[in-house]
């Protein structure tokens, strides 16, 4: 399953009301570290689709949600569980570190 594009208007349905945990990647086209972790997030999305959804929200096209959650730098990754933000990481990480973080937060 590929990553899911989320917008300000779909965030509530796609993330807050999701029945499984959702990792949200706040990113932008001009952000090189965002581009670096993109392929890893796609792979993780395929590998962990049974227990996690990976959503991407473009902060330039959708400024409301990033502002609501205090996103100051990108990439910012947040894990949402049961409608609440459970954990946050800022900055690019290797795929292995992202997987470790996901597993520790969704176990």
Phi and psi, residue 104, nearest 5°? -70, -30
CB 61 within 8 A of CB 21: no
The reply to whether 60 belongs to the active site is: no
15, 23, 24, 31: which one is catalytic? 31
The reply to whether 104 belongs to the active site is: no
Q: Is the peptide bond before 82 cis (omega within 30 degrees of 0)?
A: no
Angle at 100 between CA 74 and CA 35, to 5 degrees: 30
Separation of alpha carbons 14 and 73, rounded Å: 22
6, 15, 34, 98: which one is catalytic? 34
Separation of alpha carbons 30 and 65, rounded Å: 19
Residues with catalytic roles? 31, 34
């Amino acid at each position: 399953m590929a990553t899911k594009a989320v917008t300000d208007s779909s965030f509530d349905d796609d993330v807050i009301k999701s029945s499984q945990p959702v990792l949200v990647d706040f990113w932008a086209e001009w952000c090189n570290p965002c581009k670096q972790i993109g392929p890893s997030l796609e792979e993780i999305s395929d590998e962990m689709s049974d227990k996690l959804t990976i959503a991407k929200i473009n902060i330039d096209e959708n400024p409301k949600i990033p502002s609501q959650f205090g996103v100051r730098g990108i990439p910012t990754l947040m894990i949402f569980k049961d409608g609440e933000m459970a954990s946050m990481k800022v900055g690019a990480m290797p795929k292995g570190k992202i997987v470790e973080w996901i597993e520790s937060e969704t176990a």
